[in-house]
Amino acid sequence: MPRVYIGVGSNTHRAANIRAAVRELSACFGILTLSSVYESRAVGSAQGVFYNLVIGLDTVLPLPLLWRYLHQIEQAYGRVRDGVSGERFPLDLDLLLYGDYVGPVNDRFVPRSDIEQFAFVLCPLAEVAGEARHPQHGECYRTLWQRFDKQRQPLRRVPLALNGAPLSPQEARPRQAVWRLAGDVG
């Protein structure tokens, strides 16, 4: 069963959308490993301020099904992947690692090629998988984070309760139903 790491980010209704991602992934996969939540400015654009974390989980789902499920969650919370509306990210779920797999999945590559480029990915990944090794070059994520130029991309840890935290009335907004995974697996 592969260990999977997912980068989670939001720049609109940040706390609500981060909690929603944790709730959806927990409902499907059970026990999750959660990093701290970090606040950071968008890198290279004017997309505002994001909340980010990394979630680790184990799954028996094949990679294409997992990929599709993550996109279904994003869509249920308002994410549009049209190449045009790129300023607002209600919920962004990036598949960072799928066990030791190295290769393409749909229009992307796993492991994510930008893991080592962004503090908002590498810091929380090092927090939850510090001793794990990058499947391409074998360096552990803790070492990669120690070498990272932290002044270039500052992060701020956000005290956001995630484990079993009830949603406030403002966060419990209506949404589309998330795709039922069980029907697609069997």
Residue 148 forms part of a structural domain: yes
Residue 5 has pLDDT above 90, yes or no: yes
Residue 184 forms part of a structural domain: no
Report pLDDT digits (tens) over 102-124. Answer: 999 888 889 998 899 999 999 99
Q: Give me the phi and psi of 95, to 5 degrees please.
A: -75, 110
- Chain CA centroid to CA 155, Å: 16
Burial 83-106 (b: 16+ CB within 10 A, else e): eeeeeebbbbbbbbbbbeeeeeee
Q: Give me the phi and psi of 104, to 5 degrees please.
A: -80, 150
Q: Are 24 and 178 contacting, i.e. CB atoms less than 8 angstroms apart?
A: yes
Output the pTM of the full model. 0.84
Residue 56 forms part of a structural domain: yes
Q: What is the CATH number of the domain that holds 35?
A: 3.30.70.560
Residue 82 forms part of a structural domain: yes
Domain count, the chain: 1
Report pLDDT digits (tens) over 56-102. Answer: 999 999 999 999 999 999 988 877 765 555 556 789 999 999 999 99
* Residue range 139-164: mean pLDDT, rounded: 89
How many CA within 13 A on the CB side of residue 175?
22
Residue 182 forms part of a structural domain: no
Structural domain boundaries enclosing 71: 3-174
